[in-house]
Amino acid sequence: MTIRVLTADDHPVVRTGISALVAGQPDMSLVAEAGDGLEAVAKYDELLPDVVLMDLRMPRLDGIAATRAIVAAHPDARVIAVTSYEGDADIYRALDAGACGYLIKDMLGSDVVGAIRTAAAGRRVIPPSVAGRLAEFTPRVELTPREIEVLRLTAKGLRNRDIARVIGRTEETVKVHLKHLMAKLGAEDRTEAVTQALQRGIIHLDD
């Protein structure tokens, strides 16, 4: 039986590469490409592919939200997150949204092909490198949305009083948020907290 694949990525070169990879497999066919999350959801609803390769960072609707929307409407959907981010927080976000697997973009073509077949067979796709990343940071860290916002502003170089002005709170409140998030991350200071958050994918420089 032919495995019908939908690929969603906002970079045409990546979509072309995946298309060529899928086209070269006798048991697969590429049914559609999507350039953003909204298009991915619409094409899934229309075509009901067997497997989706979903980039996490896309315009209009990101891959996490698109995955969540697809799985909410189609609980049996098989969505594999494909991204350049290796942080455990990114991996958890994708899996929590309903993805059945997680691939890093620089993985070999044979790994991607194998992942598609594994997902189509109803199994999870967690390569050893991804599983190792999750194991490295166990238990997982849960920061509140406000703590993440403060962390993101700190990463941009804002001082406490500037952060307070942006979020509409007092400077003392900002200090409390920093204290709590540093404790959760096991960081000695704000610089270490930002470094760890970037490394783990809790925040990104392009956010």
Start-to-end C-alpha separation, the chain: 41
Q: Is the fold of 3-136 the same as that of 145-200?
A: no
- Where are the domains positioned within the chain? 3-136, 145-200
pLDDT for the residue 108 = 66
- Collect the ranges in the chain with pLDDT lower than 50: none
Taking the C-alpha atoms of residue 17 and residue 21, their distance in angstroms, rounded to an integer, is: 6
DSSP for residue 158: -
CB 91 within 8 A of CB 114: no
pLDDT for the residue 207 = 64
pTM over 0.85: no
Helix (H, G, I), strand (E, B) or coil at 79: strand
CB neighbours of 90 closer than 8 A, spacing ≥ 6?
A: 56, 83, 201
pLDDT for the residue 80 = 97
pLDDT for the residue 70 = 98
Classify domain 145-200 at the CATH topology level: Arc Repressor Mutant, subunit A (1.10.10)
CB 53 within 8 A of CB 18: yes
Superfamily of segment(s) 3-136: Response regulator (3.40.50.2300)
